[in-house]
Amino acid sequence: MAVYTPVTATDLAGFLTRYDCGRATSFKGIAEGVSNSNFLVDTTSGRYVLTLYERNIDANDLPWFLSLMTHLADKGLPVPRPIADRDGHALQTLNGRAACLIAFAQGVSIAEPTPAECHAVGAALGRLHRATADFVAVRANSLGVTAWRPMAAKCGAGLAKIDPALPVLVADALAATDSWPTGLPVGTIHADLFPDNVLLDHGDVTGMIDFYFACTDIRAYDYVVTHAAWCFSAIGTVHYPDRAAALAAGYAETHGLEPAEVAALPRLGEGAALRFVLTRAYDWLHTPPEALVTRKDPMAFARRLAWYARATPDAVLGR
Ligand SMILES: Nc1ncnc2c1ncn2[C@@H]1O[C@H](COP(=O)(O)OP(=O)(O)O)[C@@H](O)[C@H]1O
Ligand SMILES: N[C@@H](CCOP(=O)(O)O)C(=O)O
């Protein structure tokens, strides 16, 4: 479920008077998603998504996220555009929440991607990295390498309750971050380009969404987050070299990795997997049983973490 803040038809009608986008003809909550409240809004001029930002997003970051999405949409990427009101403002307030009306992107997200879909997402990620070369505003990665020790400490003894093997796996991965790669190209990254944040239509990427973890960080880290999300079985037991090779080929067509980035992929992959182990473990331990949100399994990324700890750069590239 992802409607935390209710919006009535009257609320919506009042909200839409700020825009030149007609009046609502239908409107309903969107079940998918976990962080924010999302509504599908049809108006006499088109289809939109209305997002109300909930407490776990820092309102100070919203102008950066919305300006990044606008930058990418301006460059013709398949990124839904935040809609500006008549005064030119995309960021709004509705029912006590920061809110934004966003263009609707066609397509569906894929649970079990094919190599062809991995190729398409690799190419789309490369386009994103190219298109942000001139996006100069910086946002530090609040879930980056320096955040992982404090995050692990917050999970504390809870890690062992999730799985007896988890504390050692996390401790080893944290120790490995002592040799975190330096000097690699840095840029604006999506940082969460999972299949549920990519919409595809007949094999084409029609939407990259959910930029609310985007930040400025090592570009190849974004590549390996995407590899971790797209190139394993859901529970992380199987790595698919054909998907990995297709992802790499797609990315090479639109951006490509430098030799130093390739060499760093396994260590970056350990870090990427650790980030998702830790956020999932924290949510696993702190989501009340009665919450309607489905908790995501930390062990699915613990298995990926173990894979990256033994992987060669070639293996990450599906060779
Ligand atoms: N611009 C959009 N166009 C089409 N569907 C969207 C758009 N934005 C969000 N959605 C839908 O809403 C769901 C939740 O959005 P998401 O940004 O992932 O929410 P959350 O950050 O709460 O997880 C997505 O899975 C997708 O189905
Ligand atoms: N992709 C992350 C969770 C972030 O949730 P999202 O719905 O905002 O993408 C994970 O799988 O752990």
Report whether pLDDT(1) > 60. no
CB 243 within 8 A of CB 317: no
Report whether pLDDT(135) > 80. yes
CATH 3.30.200.20 positions along the chain are 9-103
Paired tokens of 258: 């430098």
CATH 3.30.200.20 is the classification of domain 9-103: yes
User: So what's the pLDDT on residue 149?
Assistant: 98
At a CB cut-off of 8 Å and minimum separation 6, what does 232 contact?
238, 239, 240, 303, 304, 307
Report whether pLDDT(35) > 90. no
ipTM, 2 decimals?
0.96
How much is the mean pLDDT over the chain?
A: 96
Nearest CA to ligand 2 atom 4: 192
Crossing angle (nearest 10°) for helices 241-254 and 219-230: 150
CB 29 within 8 A of CB 54: no
Tens digit of each residue's pLDDT (9 = 90 or more) over 2-20: 788 999 999 999 999 999 9
Half-sphere exposure of 151 (CA within 13 A, CB side): 21
What is the mean predicted confidence (pLDDT) over 114-131? 98
Mutation test residue for ligand 2: of 57, 194, 279, the one with most atoms within 8 Å of CB:
194
User: So what's the pLDDT on residue 291?
Assistant: 67
pLDDT band at 32 (very low <50, low <70, confident <90, very high): confident
Nearest CA to ligand 1 atom 25: 32
Question: Which contiguous run of DSSP H or E holds residue 200?
Answer: strand 198-201
Q: Is 139 in the pocket of ligand 2 (CB under 6 A)?
A: no
| Least-confidence region, from 53-62, 92-101, 198-207 | 53-62
Report whether pLDDT(202) > 90. yes
**Confidence (pTM):** 0.97
What is the mean predicted confidence (pLDDT) over 72-76? 98
Q: Is 2 in the pocket of ligand 1 (CB under 6 A)?
A: yes
Q: Which fold has domain 115-316?
A: Aminoglycoside 3'-phosphotransferase; Chain: A, domain 2 (3.90.1200)
**Closest atom, ligand 1, to C-alpha of 80:** 1
Mutation test residue for ligand 1: of 210, 211, 279, 293, the one with most atoms within 8 Å of CB:
210
Quick one: three-class SS letters along 4-41? CCCCCHHHHHHHHCCCCCCCEEEEEECCCCCCCEEEEE
User: So what's the pLDDT on residue 4?
Assistant: 87
pLDDT band at 282 (very low <50, low <70, confident <90, very high): very high
Q: Residue length, the chain?
A: 319
pLDDT band at 31 (very low <50, low <70, confident <90, very high): confident
What is the mean predicted confidence (pLDDT) over 45-54? 96
Paired tokens of 304: 């990926």
Q: Is 296 in the pocket of ligand 2 (CB under 6 A)?
A: yes
At a CB cut-off of 8 Å and minimum separation 6, what does 254 contact?
122, 123, 124, 125, 126, 127, 129, 130
Nearest CA to ligand 2 atom 7: 33
CA–CA distance, 60 with 39 (Å, rounded to integer): 22
Paired tokens of 20: 């030149």
Q: Is 104 in the pocket of ligand 1 (CB under 6 A)?
A: yes
Determine whether 41 is exposed, middle or buried from the number of CB atoms within 10 Å of its CB (0-12, 13-18, 19+).
Answer: buried
Nearest CA to ligand 1 atom 23: 33
CA–CA distance, 87 with 20 (Å, rounded to integer): 10
Question: Which contiguous run of DSSP H or E holds residue 160?
Answer: helix 158-162
CA–CA distance, 301 with 282 (Å, rounded to integer): 13
User: So what's the pLDDT on residue 292?
Assistant: 66
Report whether pLDDT(289) > 90. no
Measured CA distances, 39 to 6, 85, 127, 307 (Å): 10, 18, 28, 38
Paired tokens of 231: 């190139």
Nearest ligand to the CA of 297 is 2
Q: Is 5 in the pocket of ligand 1 (CB under 6 A)?
A: no
CATH 3.90.1200.10 positions along the chain are 115-316
Q: Is 190 in the pocket of ligand 2 (CB under 6 A)?
A: no
CA–CA distance, 252 with 125 (Å, rounded to integer): 10
Q: Is 52 in the pocket of ligand 1 (CB under 6 A)?
A: no
Strand, helix or coil at 51? Answer: strand
CA–CA distance, 116 with 205 (Å, rounded to integer): 11
Tens digit of each residue's pLDDT (9 = 90 or more) over 226-261: 999 999 999 999 999 999 999 999 999 999 999 999
**Closest atom, ligand 2, to C-alpha of 35:** 8
User: So what's the pLDDT on residue 290?
Assistant: 67
Torsion of CA 227, 129, 81, 216, to 10 degrees: 90
268 CA distance to ligand 1 middle (Å):
27
Q: Is 105 in the pocket of ligand 1 (CB under 6 A)?
A: yes
Tens digit of each residue's pLDDT (9 = 90 or more) over 63-73: 999 999 999 99
